[in-house]
Structure 1
Amino acid sequence: MSEYINNREHRQKVLKRLIRNLHEGRDLGEVKEEFRKLLRDVSPTEISQMEQALIAEGLPPEQIQELCDVHVQIFRESLDKQAPPGMTPGHPVHTFRAENEAVAKAVEELKQNIAQIGAAGNTDAAAEPVQQAQETLNKLMQLDTHYLRKENLLFPFLEKHGVTGPSSVMWGIHNDIRDGLKELRRVLQTYTDYDFPALVAAIEQVANPLTTAITEMIYKEDNILYPMALEKLSDAEWLAIKEQTPEMGYCLIEPPDARPPVAEKERPAVMEEKPAQMKGYPSALPLDTGSMTPKEINLLLKNLPVDITFVDKDDTVRYFSQTEERIFVRTPAVIGREVQNCHPPASVHVVNRILDDFRQGHRDVAEFWIQMQGKFVHIRYFPLRDENGEYVGTIEVTQDVTSIRELTGQRRLLEEK
């Protein structure tokens, strides 16, 4: 075993050195040849570990992202020799790959649309192929769903196994592709603003790197990410991914076979330990999605940018958040009080109507907005119902939205203090 580990460590050192040579400007052909001589082949897991180690040693993920396609060129010959593992319909990897096949077809369709635009000869004649390109591009916009599932389902499970390289590098490429799709859509939507040569140039300037990036991402997923994930994740984790997938949706395919990713008889037993206990927080309360200690829950509620009051099914005030800048005065004395007694007599009938509508399922929200003391205040009431639809109470959410209403444009960067 120790000999294997030493060999693996040596391979990692060689891989890292070769990639660093690339980043320092060494010729790609020379690096590929040295790779063939020294290592000959490489596994998807080794590639991920190498990139992750480089990041840990201080190489910015952005630099790895910039040369990610070049990295793959070094390993492509080796990766192409490795047959992808077969997956049954219903397994998340089978679903991801089915989406990739559909995306690849759409990319080829887009290339044909763009070629037809270039062959049109003038802007007027380009109208029909531009429309076809827009329709194809609308299909490819569904890539966002594919990437969101990777980012929010697959990556978190990989990170639990210490695999952080893909999320550091691939996520950045996802965003580049998203930006490219939006920019190409903008060019196509405003095509009449261009003279014909400028239109063709503008489309090609965006579409060529975009289609290449999408195609390369498909290759990296199918040949590196998914094989490595299959090696790392357990059946229980794949089952969890499958069960959480429908909420996020699919990309260019119909919902897959409903069968679980493992046979029912092999379905892993549900772990009996509470998530809170598993993570070393015995005082944490298990919630639908995660767990928190009472202290953490209290701090969270106190620091939300809204005021919250909870009234139970019997119309009794049970809780309010004591924020620093609470809009309406609340004191601990109101706890245990009937909510009708917390309002002036003239408005009690409105309170009762809201609560009755909530109980009977006639309403899912009631909202008001007022101006007071120079503030624009938004007040909303929501019914709380359990999984069986039974009414369990109402929450009041109050927020000063004065500054929100004044927002314009965009802010994508953190404001410097």
Structure 2
Amino acid sequence: MCDIHVELFREAVARKFDIEVPPGHPLHTLYMENEQITKDAEMLNMYAKSLPDEMEKNLQSLRNLAKQLPLIGITHYTREEMIHFPYLERRGLTAVPSTLWRKHDEVRAKIKLLLKSLDQEKDDKDEFLKKLRERIEEVATALVDMVFRENNILYPALHAILSEGEWAAIRQQEDEIGYYKVKPSQEWKPKEEPIHPYQIEGALTDEQISRLPGEIKKIMESKLPEADVQKVEREGDIELDTGY
């Protein structure tokens, strides 16, 4: 990842201030995680540049960082896939979740390749460093790209569409999956009852559409989203306190 990409990435992350949410709100947590991912991407870039000097020492530092990176997929990406995406899909916005999920898997695969490269024998030092730098740049660039997409498209879309009750339901489920190098504050206290995806009825309102990022509006020009109106309840079902 070149310095220009890093600077662009910092600008993308700085856009979090366009959306004001209190600490503890799920959206605030996502942005905080992306700041941590930013730092890790920059650290990868730094190690790539410094590898020839004090190689063994820098390699060990790189290994220590690289071993933490799979947690991005296990926590940050998985929360988005399992908890956030269903709210978009329920409203017929399937293109963004499907694209980002595919990109998530690409990042996961690149991280695995980086870890594999770090475990390979380095008989040919020059060739080893060349391959390793390539892997590092692939991972750092992929992380940069994903944070840019999330901060500029996914999160503004979620902010434009989701109600406080929907965010309350998301907050209830987050801890079970976990977080990437952050711990959410307890400051945010939703006043609305949790609303799950299956409880949502109807398509996007004109007001919601007007607040969507331009990239999503462009997609909608060619195909309007069709809301998922399937209900999980059937006539005669007994409503339990558990919500199922």
RMSD: 3.0
- Tell which structure's C-alpha radius of gyration is larger: 1
Distance 1:194-1:257 versus aligned 2 partners, 3 A rule: same
Tell me, in whole angstroms, the C-alpha distance in 2 between the residues paired with 1:207 and 1:88. Answer: 34
- Say whether residues 1:183 and 2:113 are aligned partners: yes
Q: Tell me what 1:109 maps to.
A: 43
- State the 1:204 CA deviation: 2.1
Residue 260 of structure 1: aligned partner: 188
Distance 1:270 1:227, change over 3 A: closer
User: Which structure 1 segments of 5+ residues have no match?
Assistant: 1-72, 292-417
If the length of structure 2 is used for normalisation, what is the TM-score? 0.73
Q: Tell me, yes or no, if structure 1 residue 162 matches structure 2 residue 96.
A: no
**1:200-229 CA deviation, whole Å, 9 max, x = no partner?**
121122221221111111111111110111
| TM-score in terms of structure 1 length | 0.44
Question: What secondary structure is seen at the aligned counterpart in 1 of 2:18?
Answer: coil
For residues 279 and 183 of structure 1, the distance between their equivalents in structure 2, rounded to whole angstroms, comes to 41
Gaps of 5+ in 2: 1-7, 200-229
Measured after TM superposition, the shift of residue 185 of structure 1 is: 0.6
Structure with more relative contact order (C-alpha pairs < 8 Å, separation 6 or more): 2
Find the counterpart in structure 2 of residue 197 from structure 1.
Answer: 126
Identity among equivalent positions (%) equals 29
Determine the C-alpha separation between the residues in 1 that align with 2:103 and 2:69: 15
SS of residue paired to 1:224? helix
CA distance in 2, matches of 1:82, 1:244: 23
Q: How many pairs align? A: 202
Q: 1:130 aligns with which of 50, 55, 59?
A: 59
Counterpart mapping for 1:337-356 below 5 A: none
Please say if residues 161 and 232 of structure 1, whose CA atoms lie closer than 8 Å, have aligned partners that are also in contact. no
Higher strand share: 1
Corresponding residue for 1:242?
171
**Counterpart-to-counterpart distance in 2, 1:212 and 1:286:** 48
SS in 2 for 1:87: coil
Aligned residue for 1:18?
A: none
Cα distance in 1 between the residues matched to 2:187 and 2:61: 36
What's the CA shift for 1:82? Answer: 9.8
Name the CA shift for 1:81/1:269 in 2 (closer, same or farther; >3 Å): closer
- Which residue of the other structure, out of 151, 154, 161, is the alignment partner of 1:222? 151
Select 1:100's aligned residue among 30, 34, 53.
Answer: 34
Give, in angstroms, the shift of residue 260 of structure 1.
Answer: 3.3
Q: In structure 1, give the amino acid aligned to 2:139.
A: L
Residue 287 of structure 1: CA displacement?
A: 6.6
> Matched residues in 2 for 1:219 and 1:111: separation?
17
Q: Paired residue for 2:212?
A: none
Matches of 2:180 and 2:79, distance apart in 1: 10
Deviations 1:130-186 (A, max 9, x none): 111011112322211100000001101221222212221001110110011111011
